[in-house]
Amino acid sequence: DAGVIQSPRHEVTEMGQEVTLRCKPISGHNSLFWYRQTMMRGLELLIYFNNNVPIDDSGMPEDRFSAKMPNASFSTLKIQPSEPRDSAVYFCASRSDLGTPPSHFGDGTRLSIL
């Protein structure tokens, strides 16, 4: 299995620009998570999807952040407009709801907003 695939790996853009991060979960996994990692706060959950439906978006910091999961194999996290304080590493993770399996993480997108 290819694992969780995220793109791009790195993104550098100027303040005010729209940023779109992409994630392809592991086939067959029906739970998908977006996390953000910073030195100060560690890993924080942004949003959780189950069977393509957003279940908990309470971690999304502001209305500038939005996430979609149009089908079981693709999700996006969008920031518009971006701000320097959004600079962080964004991780996507997926998990099957069958049994008690571990969560699988992508390699992350390192986002820098100038």
Partner 1 sequence: KQEVTQIPAALSVPEGENLVLNCSFTDSAIYNLQWFRQDPGKGLTSLLLIQSSQREQTSGRLNASLDKSSGRSTLYIAASQPGDSATYLCAVLEDSGYALNFGKGTSLLVTP
Smallest gap, in angstroms, from Cβ of residue 33 to partner 1? 6
Q: CA 63 to CA 6: how far, in whole Å? A: 23
CA dist list (Å): 17 to 10, 12, 36, 64: 15, 10, 19, 11
Question: Per CB under 8 A, does 50 bind partner 1?
Answer: yes
The 3-state DSSP class for residue 39 equals coil
* Residue among 20, 74, 76, 107 that touches partner 1 (CB under 8 A): 107
Smallest gap, in angstroms, from Cβ of residue 105 to partner 1? 4
**Residue ranges that bind partner 1, judged by CB under 8 A:** 4, 31, 33, 42-43, 45, 48, 50, 55-56, 91, 93, 100-108, 110
